[in-house]
Amino acid sequence: MRNRLWAGAVACLPVAASAAAYGAVLGVLAEQKAIAWQTLLMSDFVVFAGSAQFVIVDMWSHPLPVLSIALSVLLINLRYMLVGASLEPLFRGKSLWHKATRMHLAADENWAVTMAAHRRGEADTSYLFGGGVCMFTFWTVSTMIGYRLGGWVPDPEMLALDFAMTAVFTALTTGLWRGKRDLLPWLAAVVLAVVTSRLLPDRWYILIGGVGGALVAALLPQQRLPNEATSQAETVGEAI
């Protein structure tokens, strides 16, 4: 078992190193928003989901909009239900305790690496968990380094740090494009978000644009290919 744990951790090194790069950016942004380092560290430990943690930092303001932050995290992490479901063959026959203790560290990156190894017959739950420990270590350390660096940036505006989040999300979104059928939902999301941002306070535009766009996707005529779920699993894994 220790061997599989180690193999999973080693296999995740390249993706963990690139996640560490955004981790550092997340740390810088959290520092700029005057979020306590303890709060950031706590989110590394208990949330441990990159894009959701970016959203939390982005929405952080006083008084804290607890409910809309939690709702946004729920929606952005809804894909983890699909991640969890796709891991069912790996966990088949394991105890509830085994499942409950291993799942927390299932992030997009080590999940994608594990699924690829699973297809070659090389993965088990230790492999997944080893990858999770690797991701967790790189992620936590990098956010703290970024936080430290954030304090030394003299003029964040001139370095366009306020644009960093928009740019990261833009890059991540391009990887989620699934072809022409995304056109209308994406257009709807953009229009709804921009209009809502003018009309409603706080960050309601994230929820309204996101849910509205996804509803358009649900209302469009359904046409799906039999093996689409797995191919989407791959693209999401690569993107986030």
Residues 39-68 that bind another protein (CB under 8 A): 39, 42-43, 45-49, 51-52, 55-56, 58, 62-64, 66
Would you give the distance in Å from CA 124 to the centre of its chain? 23
- Residue 34 interacting with another protein (CB under 8 A): no
Question: Residue 93 in 3-state DSSP?
Answer: coil
Euclidean distance between CA atoms 172 and 166, whole angstroms:
10
Of residues 74-133, which lie at the interface with another protein (CB under 8 A)? 74-88, 91, 99-100, 103-104, 106
Q: Counting contacts by CB under 8 A, is residue 169 touching another protein?
A: yes
Q: Quick one: 41 or 148, whose CB is closer to another protein?
A: 41
Among 116, 141, 145, 197, binds another protein (CB under 8 A): 197
Of 3 and 42, which CB lies nearer to another protein in the complex structure?
Answer: 42
- Unique residue bearing structure tokens 């303890």: 38
The least CB distance from residue 25 to another protein, in Å, is 7
Residues with Cβ within 8 Å of residue 42, at least 6 apart in sequence: none
Per CB under 8 A, 168 contacts another protein: yes
- Pairwise CA distance, residues 77 & 231, whole Å: 19
Please tell me the distance from the alpha carbon of residue 69 to that of residue 77, in angstroms, as a whole number. 12
179 binds another protein per the rule CB under 8 A: no
